[in-house]
Structure 1
Amino acid sequence: MSARRCPMGTVGTASTASTAGTAGATGVALHGPGPGGDGLAAFQERLRRDHGPVVPVTIAPGIGAWLVIGHRELLRLTREEGDFSHDPRRWSLLREGRVPPDSPILPMVGWRPALLYADGQRHRRMRAAVTDALDRIDGHELRRGVRAAAERLIASFAGRRKADLVAHYARLLPAQVITELLGLDTATGQRLEQAIAGLTAVNADSAGSSARMDAILREVIVAKRRRPGSDLTSALLLHPAGLTDEEVLHNLAVVFVMGRQTTVNWIATTLRILLCDPAFRSSLAVGHLSVDDALDLVLWRHPPAQNVPARYATRDLELGGRRITAGDMLLLGLAGANQDPAVLPDDGTPVVGNRSHLAFGAGPHTCPAQDPARLITRTAVDTVRHRLPDLELAVPESELTWVSTPWSTRLAALPVRFTEPQLPHADLL
């Protein structure tokens, strides 16, 4: 993990290599320092200009992969399961023992018995259970719960007239919501949040954090087997698909590891743009943009997960003018594909109300949790707008810092100040 200021100059190391799948391959480094904020768009443009729609990259020193940033190529990658498998056990570098067992990327790309790592019928069986469990969420109840939690968080820092909207708000709110959805008590939810945060940091403790997360979820599953409730854990355990306890554990892990950090990023990025882009903020204030329009523009320009792992070539083939070898890893370059000139208007501006972006993926593995994620994010942003109407950035935008992993670039902090918080009556919090 690394933090850095925005904007950045050069990023990574451009490669002239024609292959990315072999150990030790060189390519554009997705690990280490990278662009933040609006610098991400320029970075994607350079990748497309220098490498085309399929880019040789490294996700750790000596660990090569392909980053697919062409819109057409990414759709093929996500839709043709016969050519591109989700199962990391096909990854040639892993099969050949060329990925260190303590590599910090393994908790995100190592195989689990979960829908993200399965193809065909096995994927459909687990996805049906996860989708049905998520569909049981009452949207009205979820909105009320998110708003109440958001107002409590705002009240906790309102007296200081300043806050870090990443640490004090965006990072805490999804964790509290997830705790309730899973049917966890507060203490267990806090332990799970700490473990997930460590796993997604992609550092030396990621493997340990992953083990702690699994242990916590096992405790929860044992408890819910004994006494099921009206929560997502119980819904998965009782689903007719007959998921094993291990499958329930790992599907919960996938949904909420991916969902937690992307929701944090979506909230934080939307708030940053509201603070830093006067035209964006004005359009929202006067009703030219709805909150949902604003959220979609953020998904087009700054998707919460820029690069999503992974697919594995099942045979030698060609993609975007590149020769892909069986067993190569391919990453979904969602940020790059959203900027592909082939799918944008001539001026490069996404159309308001257009949800054909790829921020949630595409094909059979499109994110199943996008509706609750949108509801959480919309409510989080709307609550800040109403409760802190005179909110402003407390530092120059150029001083904002960013955290990088191979999968995403996110705000390290969003320091703000305000003078007149509009809090609800204390007995409503």
Structure 2
Amino acid sequence: MPALYEELRRAHGPVAPVTVAPGIDAWLVLGHHELLRLTREEQDFSHDPRRWSLLREGRVPADSPILPMVGWRPALLFADGQQHRRMRAAVSDALARINGHELRRSVRATAERLIASFGRRREADLVPHYARRLPMQVITGLLGVDERTGQQLVQAIAGMAAANADSANASKRMGAILLSLIEEKRRRPGNDITSALCAHPAALTDEEVLHNLVVMFTAGNQTTVNWIATTLRILLCDPAFRSSLTGGHLSVDDALDLVLWRFPPTQNFPARYATRDLEFGGQAVRAGDMLILGLAAANQDPRILPADGSPVVGNRSHLAFGAGPHTCPAQDPARLITRTAVDTIRHRLPDMELAVDESELAWIKSPWSKGLAALPVRFTEPQLPPSPSDASASSLSVSSAASPSV
């Protein structure tokens, strides 16, 4: 994909024509400055897919694999103006009530349990055994979902995002799971994000709670999986970076930011829709055209990278979390989860090394996300604490007030 982005940039400039599904044409925004304008100027670029000309004209098949990702939902991701601010307030307030100290303890305890589960084998694939399991257990705990239901939810959302023939059915399964959860939390509220959304003064309907949970889980789970796995890959494959980290010259946060610049967990993000005809990035964009946020390409825009090609360290002007009014509201807890997951495993498995050549690592093929398919490692005896904490993701709760540590 990076080679494709540069080819498109050379041929078309910062905004390029692309096909995102059979018969579905769109614009891919590759330029850093252009992407900032796209995300900040709601008067020209709307989030509401009901403005999409292809959809209005009936030219998007009902079974199109892209529809579950871009079809309108009553959620903050698909709203502008006051409606967006109303729903974002509910989501942001629910997230702000997460107790950061409790979240860090729970992530560490979950990480240590996972490491203990495969530690005796002296080898593991860190994608399915660690990076994929940890966020799911933590995030479902925050939402107030038990682990079994959480696994079903992960499978349904993964199927929806896969953009294949089963995506529509996966979307229905996901909706049924979440609606049952909301009904339960209306009857018996708990200390969790779902209950906080249900009780918020914004008075979200069940449908609004459901679809905002979809946005939160979809945006939070797989991206955190990718962020953890890719950061671990850099620490395993870049001896100089690992040495600088061990020696205290760089921090885990520096490694996290390096990933967000070079390999953002979300490569491309749908979508904005032009509200009028306009010239944008050298292209004649028409009212109702779809524009895709090329997050990975914009981060590699040669107009904003250091001229000497040096790594970007200590700089968070990347676009991995988006920009403008719709900047990801969960980036602080996501960073805390990822930082704790990476820091825990590198201390518990200090001699961990890649079990295959780096060239053999495979990436999941997706137009939207950037994630490893596998990360096999080997190691010796894990250095686990003598009495692992009994804390678990299911014990996570949100506080009655915002926690300053998130």
Query: Does residue 1:173 correspond to 2:134, yes or no?
Result: yes
* Equivalent AA in structure 2 for residue 332 of structure 1: L
Q: Which residue does 2:289 correspond to in 1?
A: 328
Partners of 1:345 and 1:427 in 2: how far apart?
A: 44
Name the stretch that deviates more: 88-97 or 242-251.
88-97
Establish whether residue 195 from structure 1 lines up as the match of residue 146 from structure 2.
no
Give the counterpart of 1:223 among 184, 201, 220.
Answer: 184
Counterpart among 20, 24, 44 of residue 59 in structure 1: 20
2:168 aligned partner: 207
Whether the aligned pair in 2 keeps the contact of 1:401 and 1:412 (CA below 8 Å) is yes
1:240 pairs with 198, 201, 204, which one?
201
Partner of 1:307: 268
Distance 2:71 2:311 in 1: 35
- Residue 246 and residue 413 in structure 1: after superposition, are their counterparts in 2 closer, same or farther (change >3 A)? same
Q: In the alignment, what sits opposite 1:131?
A: 92
For 1:42-57, list aligned pairs within 5 A.
Answer: 42-57=3-18
Identity among equivalent positions (%) equals: 78
The answer to whether structure 1 residue 254 and structure 2 residue 211 are counterparts is no
47-56 or 214-223, which deviates more: 47-56
Per-residue deviation, 1:50: 2.2
Distance in 2 (alpha carbons) for counterparts of 1:158 and 1:204: 38
For residue 362 of structure 1, the aligned residue among 314, 323, 326 is 323
User: SS at the partner of 2:363?
Assistant: strand
1:409 CA drift (Å): 2.9
Name the residue aligned to 1:372.
333
Picking from 87, 110, 121, the partner of 1:149 is 110
Which amino acid in 2 is paired with 1:222? E
Q: Identify the range of structure 1 (54-63 vs 319-328) with the bigger mean alpha-carbon deviation.
A: 54-63
Matched, 1:96 2:57: yes
SS of the residue corresponding to residue 43 of structure 2 reads coil
Per-residue CA deviations over 1:58-114 (Å, capped at 9, x if unaligned) read 111221111101111111100110110000111111112222211221111110000
- Looking at structure 2, the residues matched to 46 and 420 of structure 1 have their Cα atoms a distance apart, in angstroms, of 47
Secondary structure (helix, strand or coil) at the match of 2:61 reads coil
| Contact 1:341-1:348 within 8 A present in 2 as well | no
How many Å apart are 1:410 and its aligned residue?
1.7
Paired with 1:428 and 1:83, the residues of 2 have a C-alpha distance of 52
Residues 308-341 of structure 1, C-alpha deviations (whole Å, 9 max, x = no match): 1000011111111000011110011111111112
- Give, in angstroms, the shift of residue 45 of structure 1: 2.6
Give the Cα separation in 2 of the matches to 1:309 and 1:424: 44
Higher relative contact order (CA 8 A, sep 6+): 2
Question: Alpha-carbon deviation of 1:420?
Answer: 2.5
Deviation at 1:201, TM superposition (A): 2.1
| Contact kept? 2:261, 2:312, Cα under 8 Å | no
Aligned residues: 390
SS in structure 2 of the partner of residue 55 of structure 1: strand
Q: Any unmatched runs of 5+ in structure 1?
A: 1-34
Is 2:30–2:293's contact at 8 Å kept on the other side of the alignment?
Answer: yes
The residue that corresponds to 1:286 in the other structure is 247
Residue deviations 1:224-245, cap 9 Å, x none? Answer: 0001111000100110111111
The one of 265, 273, 277 equivalent to 1:316 is 277
In the TM superposition, residue 427 of structure 1 has moved relative to its aligned partner by 4.7
The runs of 5 or more residues in structure 2 that have no matched partner are 391-406
Q: Which amino acid aligns with 2:17?
A: P
